[in-house]
């Protein structure tokens, strides 16, 4: 059978043989009753890695993000989000539907807020005003770019949050990619955050699951909110077991994904295709095919016909994501195929 190289996302990774074995052998119990030792082990492991008091296993990054907003807000409150964030764009309006809060989206190119705009976005007190309750960040930023943002670049945001006594939530779906790219630890990168979401099923290749980390009080309330939206789980050790391997075995191989992405970037540039540059990039390649006279959709169809799947982002841009199931030796095939596709026009 022809091997399909699926570069649409790192969510397409299949669990490793070791993960499947761990799922089979996991010691389990009823986690709603806190009887599942494997879930408890995973949650303690995650809390330790992130330098926070406690952690909670949820089904997905979306669930973790939404639970965090539910914990920090009441109906009618407001939260500040990036206009391009997953939280604002790709969670079926969950901020308003689940929390009853309203988002105040701010544009950003850099993955940080403009200091003046953020200052103005925090609602002053007043009988007609919503109350701002939370500032949300996303690192890597954003899902079509994969830009790793250094902690120092959040200094103004942290100062504004402290001044207004506002918590900071980080959607860190790919925070390990960010830490690897910036040569630091996740604990350091999120040390100023009150709560963080990290996904186990993207570059870390677990089949599903996400961790929320934060203070014990935050996680206790998050556990209640998870239950409210039907996310409490029984023998969840079968999910936690590959999650433990994701956190302990898969982080060290992320540089490989970043190297492969960089090879794709420079190969595309050599073919005359413009790629997103600037800052510390990770496993996501954002390319603009208009420079080669193409639109994104027919270009994606052409590659699809050659066994390479990519994601269309806009009329002229596409995304290619490297991950565990894309090998170093696949890169020359990918670039050759793209080169041929360009020539066969």
Ligand X SMILES: Cc1ncc(COP(=O)(O)O)c(C=O)c1O
- Applying CB under 6 A, which residues contact ligand X? 11, 60-62, 65, 86, 138, 143, 171, 173, 199, 210
Please, what is the minimum distance in Å from the beta carbon of residue 280 to ligand X?
16
Q: Which of 113, 106, 105, 95 is nearest to 161 (CA)?
A: 113
DSSP 253-322: GHHHHHHHHHHHHHHHHHTT-EE--SSEE-SEEEEEGGGGT--HHHHHHHHHHTTEE-EE-SSSEEEEE-
Is omega for the bond preceding 240 within 30 degrees of 0, making it cis?
A: no
Residue whose CB is less far from ligand X, 112 or 267: 112
Residue whose CB is less far from ligand X, 26 or 173: 173
Residue whose CB is less far from ligand X, 267 or 322: 322
Please, what is the minimum distance in Å from the beta carbon of residue 98 to ligand X?
14
Q: Which of 174, 224, 215, 173 is nearest to 193 (CA)?
A: 215
Q: Which residues are CB-neighbours of 7 under 8 A, at least 6 positions away?
A: 308, 309, 310, 311, 319, 320, 321, 322, 326, 334
Q: Which helix (H) or strand (E) holds 134?
A: strand 132-138
What are the φ/ψ torsions at residue 130 (nearest 5 degrees)?
Answer: -70, 155
Query: What is the distance between the alpha carbons of residues 296 and 79, in angstroms, rounded to a whole number?
Result: 34
Query: What is the distance between the alpha carbons of residues 82 and 256, in angstroms, rounded to a whole number?
Result: 29
Residue whose CB is less far from ligand X, 77 or 84: 84
Residue whose CB is less far from ligand X, 31 or 171: 171
Please, what is the minimum distance in Å from the beta carbon of residue 296 to ligand X?
19
Query: What is the distance between the alpha carbons of residues 62 and 97, in angstroms, rounded to a whole number?
Result: 13
Residue whose CB is less far from ligand X, 73 or 210: 210
For ligand X, which residue has the nearest CB? 61
Please, what is the minimum distance in Å from the beta carbon of residue 110 to ligand X?
16
Query: What is the distance between the alpha carbons of residues 39 and 45, in angstroms, rounded to a whole number?
Result: 10
Query: What is the distance between the alpha carbons of residues 330 and 333, in angstroms, rounded to a whole number?
Result: 5
Residue whose CB is less far from ligand X, 180 or 338: 180
The CA-based angle 230-234-236, given to 5 degrees, is 100
Residue whose CB is less far from ligand X, 171 or 276: 171
Q: Which of 176, 205, 158, 201 is nearest to 64 (CA)?
A: 201
Please, what is the minimum distance in Å from the beta carbon of residue 173 to ligand X?
3
Please, what is the minimum distance in Å from the beta carbon of residue 272 to ligand X?
29
Please, what is the minimum distance in Å from the beta carbon of residue 291 to ligand X?
26
Please, what is the minimum distance in Å from the beta carbon of residue 71 to ligand X?
17
Please, what is the minimum distance in Å from the beta carbon of residue 145 to ligand X?
10
Residue whose CB is less far from ligand X, 39 or 59: 59
């Amino acid at each position: 059978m022809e091997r399909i190289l699926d570069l649409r996302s790192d969510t397409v990774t299949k669990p490793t043989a070791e993960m499947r074995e761990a799922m089979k052998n996991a010691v389990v119990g009823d986690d709603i009753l806190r009887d599942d030792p494997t879930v408890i082990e995973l949650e303690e492991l995650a809390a330790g890695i992130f330098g926070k008091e406690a952690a909670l296993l949820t089904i997905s990054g979306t669930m973790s993000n939404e639970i965090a907003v539910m914990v920090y807000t009441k109906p009618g409150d407001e939260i500040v989000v990036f206009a391009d964030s997953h939280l604002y764009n790709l969670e079926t309006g969950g901020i308003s539907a689940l929390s009853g809060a309203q988002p105040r989206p701010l544009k950003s190119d850099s993955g940080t807020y403009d200091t003046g705009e953020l200052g103005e976005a925090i609602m002053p007190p007043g009988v007609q005003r919503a109350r701002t309750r939370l500032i949300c960040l996303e690192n890597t930023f954003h899902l079509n770019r994969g830009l790793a943002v250094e902690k120092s670049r959040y200094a103004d945001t942290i100062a504004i949050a402290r001044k207004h006594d506002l918590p900071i939530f980080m959607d860190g779906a790919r925070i390990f990619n960010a830490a690897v790219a910036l040569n630091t630890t996740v604990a350091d990168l999120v040390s100023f955050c009150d709560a963080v979401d990290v996904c186990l099923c993207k570059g870390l290749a677990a089949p599903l699951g996400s961790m929320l980390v934060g203070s014990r009080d935050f996680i206790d309330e998050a556990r209640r909110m998870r239950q409210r939206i039907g996310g409490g789980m029984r023998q969840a050790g079968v999910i936690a077991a590959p999650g433990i391997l994701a956190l302990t075995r898969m982080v060290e191989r992320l540089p490989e994904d970043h190297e492969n992405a960089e090879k794709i970037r420079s190969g595309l540039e050599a073919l005359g295709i413009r790629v997103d540059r600037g800052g510390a990039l990770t496993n996501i390649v954002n390319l603009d095919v208009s420079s080669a006279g193409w639109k994104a959709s027919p270009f994606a169809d052409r590659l699809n016909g050659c066994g390479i799947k990519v994601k269309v982002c806009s009329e002229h841009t596409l995304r290619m994501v490297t991950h565990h199931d894309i090998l170093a030796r696949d890169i020359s095939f990918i670039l050759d195929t793209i080169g041929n596709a360009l020539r066969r026009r």
